[in-house]
Amino acid sequence: MIFQAESNNNLLTPEQVAGILQVHILTIYGYIREGKLDAIRLGRSYRITHQDLEQFIESNRINNNK
């Protein structure tokens, strides 16, 4: 299926993501604007899926292999 509907409980606001990552809301908007964090544009607001947030976290993980 090309389009898979997301339920509302699977979508996070930028404010919620900022709280989860413990960063300022403007940092989240910067990540979205720079293409580092995928988001869905709904009118004038954004929503982020849990999957996109998990991918963002994994892509920014630092591996300390000693």
Helix/strand/coil (H/E/C) assignment for every residue in the chain? CCCCCCCHHHEECHHHHHHHHCCCHHHHHHHHHHCCCCCEEECCEEEEEHHHHHHHHHHCCCCCCC
- What pLDDT sits at residue 2? 46
Cβ distance 25 to 15 under 8 Å?
yes
pTM above 0.85, yes or no: no
Residue 11 sits at φ, ψ, to 5 deg, of -110, 135
pLDDT digits (tens, 9 = 90+) for 1-58: 445 555 556 899 999 999 999 999 999 999 999 999 999 999 999 999 999 999 999 9
